Structure 1
Amino acid sequence: MTNIREDLRRVMIHDREFQKYSVDRRIYCVPREEIRLETQHNILFQLFGERYFFPRIDNPTSILECGYGRGDWVVRVAEEYEECEVTGIDIYPVHLPDQPDNLTLFGYNLNDRLDDPEVFEHKPYDLIHSRSVAQGIESARWPHYIRDLRRWLKPAGWLQMAEYYLNIQSNNGSLTEQSALREWWRDYVRAMEESKRNPRVARNLGQLLTDAGCRYIGGHTFDLPVGGWRPEPHMARLGRESVEMVGELLESASLFLFTERLGKTAAQVESLNNAARMELRDPNLHLYVPM
């Protein structure tokens, strides 16, 4: 567990606010982005059929979220299940307004062994939720991270994980290798790998869960549409809502990585992100983000 006072210090980089603790240690170098995270939660909640989790758990008594971010998921779950003890851990332990009484938050580096007795002792979980933490977890840590999570599950507990695969696809094949989105992805892969992170971990979660000894593993790829090209009215609406959010996601994921690891200037990164955003706004490309 990390020191809360140190966790909350901030530093300005390229006119964006970052967590100093995380940047200094090269853990999770993404700027603060409260509005995008709230929008992302609402979009994914709709994409997932307005479900907070997929396994059937009727009366959970203990739930853990790893990487609670702005708190959108963990707060709503705590409010939905008032008799359940809910715990959230995150590298940047922000204080949440109107925090439910049954919710406890801790600062924690997910690259460390999940064994702090103040957080985990005598708390076997019905559900552990881990989402969008790939940029912070070292490649070599993933097998141990999942084994740590499995250790804290009840015998009939469930582990739910979700990650973006940021190699954005075109449903009609119109996205070429010369596109800005393809260039962005190639730079992202190189920068992530140089940071000892796995840019493709979303595609490997099933195997990692199997290797960790988990049972009854199920998996599903959700394709988040970008733009209103889907024929179904609710998916078209969701796609229109996702355009700006995905553009902001690409910006936040690349700003520090591309300047720090690839030697690009902030202006070069901004230019690439602007070109990628233009493509995201093109309805003729029929884009989607696998998750």
Structure 2
Amino acid sequence: MVDDHERVSIYGRIFQKVSVDEKIYCAPIADDDIEEDRLAAQHSLFSRLLGDSLISPAIRLREPCKVLDCGYGGGDWSVEFAEEFEDCEVTGIDVYPMELSVNQPDNLNLVAYNLNDRLNDPEVFQSRAYDLIHSRCVAPGMKKNRWPSYFRDMRVLLRPGGWVQASEYHLHVQSNSGSLTGQSAVYRWWLNYAQAMAGMNRDARIGPRLHEFMSGAGLRDVQQFYTRLPVGGWDPNPFQNSIGRDAVSVVGDMLESLGLWPFTAHLGWTFAAFTQLMQAVRVELQNDELKLYIPM
């Protein structure tokens, strides 16, 4: 029997063993201290981008009774939602059954579940019941041919009038000043990461296609919002400047976490070569003259 809790250390980072063995989610898990901090900081950035909210202003949600969080990671979104809506039953699913470091709200249930499997287990899900289904940053663990059925599954689970909120990065770091070249460290990171993801049956460019898959699943009133996550304090807008300064370390840690296993195990890089690239990446992320941002 597979032990979902079994962990393995790779170059000093903590991974879920079954995820690495079966190439499900090949990034550190939230039991890894660095990753736990990164996920918490990332959650804070997302909330600030939504106007200090857990959901988009476009979503009209008043008194939710049942909510599903797909890929809960460190549990930040699930916990905050359960605390804000105490009468709502919140279920979080993730391939790794993370044990929360905070007191788990009584109305929050966390379940080990592989998002590549159909969301139809009657012991976990209830059809036509959910007011909101939340999915964020699950692309590294999702097979590229799973996306259409992923959103079809959500449609079955939603109650009439229910909502889906899905968010993904497009990890091709870009420059608002046009200063990046083919030799830039962030560009070399992206080319190799996209190559590794393609070889692992993942779509590193999935973000812009979410609208396509949600509409194809029969979801209605699908709205797509593009934004730029600034990296660094280069934006003259005070809000964007604050976000950007906080994003420098978050993005650096994210590129390191997501790239470590694919670069070394899949592409055959040495750990030293990957570390050298990441050092160069972090130098560029800290260079405000480059005016870097990540499309979302």
What's the TM-score, normalizing by structure 2? 0.95
1:251 alignment counterpart: 256
1:158 equivalent among 159, 163, 169: 163
CA distance in 1, matches of 2:50, 2:277: 30
| Residue of 3, 8, 12 corresponding to 2:5 | 8
- Residue 69 of structure 1 aligns with an amino acid whose one-letter code is G
Conserved? CA contact 1:79–1:100, under 8 Å: yes
* Correspondences of 1:179-218 after superposition (within 5 Å): 179-218=184-223
1:77 paired residue number: 81
Which residue of 1 is the match for residue 63 of structure 2?
A: 59
Q: 1:264 aligns with which of 260, 266, 269?
A: 269
Residue aligning to 1:49: 51
Structure 1 segments, 4+ long, off by >2 Å, are none
> Given the alignment, which residue of 154, 164, 181 partners 1:149?
154
- Once the two structures are superposed, the pairs formed by residues 130-149 of structure 1 within 5 Å of their partners are 130-149=135-154
Which digits, 9 at most, give the CA deviation of each residue in 1:243-275, with x for residues without a partner?
A: 011000000010000112211111111111111
Secondary structure, aligned partner of 1:154: strand
For 1:259, what is the secondary structure of its paired residue? helix
Q: Distance in 1 between matches of 2:273 and 2:129?
A: 47
Which ranges of structure 1 fall in alignment gaps of 5 or more residues? none
Cα deviation for residue 228 of structure 1 reads 0.4
Native 8 Å contact 1:22 1:28 kept in 2: yes
**What amino acid does structure 2 have at the position aligned with 1:156?**
G
Would you say 1:27 and 2:31 are equivalent positions?
no
Cα shift readout 1:50-79 (whole Å, capped 9, x = no counterpart): 121120111111100000000000100000
CA distance in 1, matches of 2:185, 2:18: 32
Same amino acid, percent of matched pairs = 50
For residue 122 of structure 1, report the CA deviation from its aligned partner: 5.5
Residue number among 78, 87, 94 corresponding to 2:91 in the alignment: 87
Q: CA deviation at 1:113?
A: 1.0
Counterparts of 1:85 and 1:37, CA distance in 2: 23
C-alpha separation in 1, matches of 2:128 and 2:107: 14
Separation (CA, whole Å) in 1 of partners of 2:36 and 2:12:
16
Deviates more, 1:133-142 or 1:50-59: 50-59
Q: One-letter code of the match for 1:40? A: Q
Which SS does the other structure have where 1:11 is aligned?
strand
**Bigger mean CA deviation after superposition, 169-178 or 245-254:** 169-178
Letter in 1 for 2:92: G
Letter of the 2:269 partner, please give it.
K
Aligned equivalents of 2:76, 2:187: Cα separation in 1: 31
Asked if 1:112 corresponds to 2:109, the answer is no
Give the drift of 1:121: 3.1
SS of the residue 1:135 aligns to? helix
State the Cα deviation string for residues 143-197 of structure 1 (Å, max 9, x = none).
1111111110011101110001000111111111220111111001100000000
- The whole-number CA distance in structure 2 between the counterparts of 1:240 and 1:121 is 42
Q: Offset at 1:9?
A: 1.0
3-state SS of paired residue (1:269): helix
Per mean C-alpha deviation after superposition, the further-off stretch among 90-99 and 130-139 is: 90-99
Pairwise CA RMSD: 1.2
- Which amino acid is the alignment partner of residue 51 of structure 1? S
**Which stretch shows the higher mean deviation, 159-168 or 266-275?**
266-275
Kindly provide the amino acid, as one letter, of the partner of residue 234 in structure 2.
W
Instruction: Name the CA distance, whole Å, in 2 between partners of 1:121 and 1:192.
Output: 32
- By how many angstroms is 1:49 displaced? 1.3
Contact 1:127–1:159 (Cα < 8 Å) also in 2: yes
How high is the TM-score relative to the length of structure 1? 0.97
Structure 2 SS opposite 1:57: coil
The CA deviation at 1:123 is: 6.5
- For 1:40, the equivalent position in structure 2 comes to 42
